[in-house]
Amino acid sequence: MDLRTALQTGFSQLRDGGVNAPKLTAEVLLCHTLSKEHIFLLTHPEDLIASFEMAQYDRALRERVSGKPTQYITGKQEFWGREFKVSPAVLIPRPESEHLIETTLALARNRSAPRLFHHADLPALTVAKRRRILDIGTGSGALAVTLALELNTRVIATDISADALAVARGNALRMRAPCSLVQCDLGAPFGNNSFDFIVCNPPYIATETIQTLQREVRDYEPRLALDGGSDGLDFYRRLIPEAARLLRLGGRLILEIGADQGESVPELLVRPWRDVNLAQDLAGRSRVVSAQRWG
């Protein structure tokens, strides 16, 4: 069978199985099977596919039709222009989380040294070197690795799951990102006033809503990274006081939120928090809330 026919077979199988974007998915899975770039399919449509490769491709197609996410089949997902390894132990990085990166980078690059550190006489470069960032619930490490590389600074990342940390560690090592990974609940091992920034993409989906999610999410992604309790706010209620303990005076907390949590999460950010701001996605939905610890 040539590649053109293999693609058509995959497309038909995925389409009939109700998979979204069946043509693109067939191409991605075939490229993964062959360990080739997409351009190879366009320039070599008449190349023959070996029988063992066709068996692997067919298995990948069946897994996708059964509901398994493409990213868990290929073991990778792009985030912020970089390829991250993923497994069923971690949440698949999503474009929505890039808004959290955007917000953090803007705050980290534009903050004033006197306001955050009360050292007006220190040059900006010296202050930048003192930056300490904590990523709580790192999962694949997408946030920690991206911030470490974009800001050229060490990021500490925590997760309660050893399997998730193994994925994050692999991503950090492969990309040579200066990240320290710690297995713990929230930021338990760290002392008071230890960080300048805390970022987190917490579980924020209400428990009863999980059953209404796409099967790819509901049946395959880790429940621990999804379930936010009866109202989706359980993790925020635990995290926000912990962040107030961990952040230095003037430090920033940056959180991803659900599209319907633009009011409920900010309401939790009372004293010692101020300067509470929301960032929206391109559709105008609230996706990120940031706040400054003060007092």
Per-residue pLDDT tens digits of the chain, which is 295 residues long: 999 999 999 999 999 999 999 999 999 999 999 999 999 999 999 999 999 999 999 999 999 999 999 999 999 999 999 999 999 999 999 999 999 999 999 999 875 333 333 333 323 333 344 589 999 999 999 999 999 999 999 999 999 999 999 999 999 999 999 999 999 999 999 999 999 999 999 999 999 999 999 999 999 999 999 999 999 999 999 999 999 999 999 999 999 999 999 999 999 999 999 999 999 998 999 999 999 999 7
Q: Please identify, among 37, 66, 95, the residue that sits at the C-terminal boundary of a domain.
A: 66
Return the CATH number at 50: 1.10.8.10
Structural domain tally of the chain? 2
* Domain encompassing residue 141: 80-293
In a domain, 109, yes or no: yes
**26 and 148 belong to one structural domain:** no
Shared domain check, 157 and 118? yes
User: Does a structural domain hold residue 201?
Assistant: yes
**CA distances in angstroms from 182 to 137, 185, 188, 189, listed in the order given:** 10, 9, 10, 9
Domain identity same for 123 and 35: no
Burial, 90: exposed, middle or buried (Cβ in 10 Å; 0-12, 13-18, 19+)?
Answer: buried
Are 14 and 65 a contacting pair, CB within 8 Å? yes
From the list 25, 133, 147, the residue with the least C-alpha distance to 98 is 147
**Alpha-carbon span 147 to 103, nearest angstrom:** 11
pTM, whole model, 2 decimals? 0.90
Q: Please, which residues have CB within 8 angstroms of residue 184's CB and are 6 or more apart in sequence? A: 158, 160
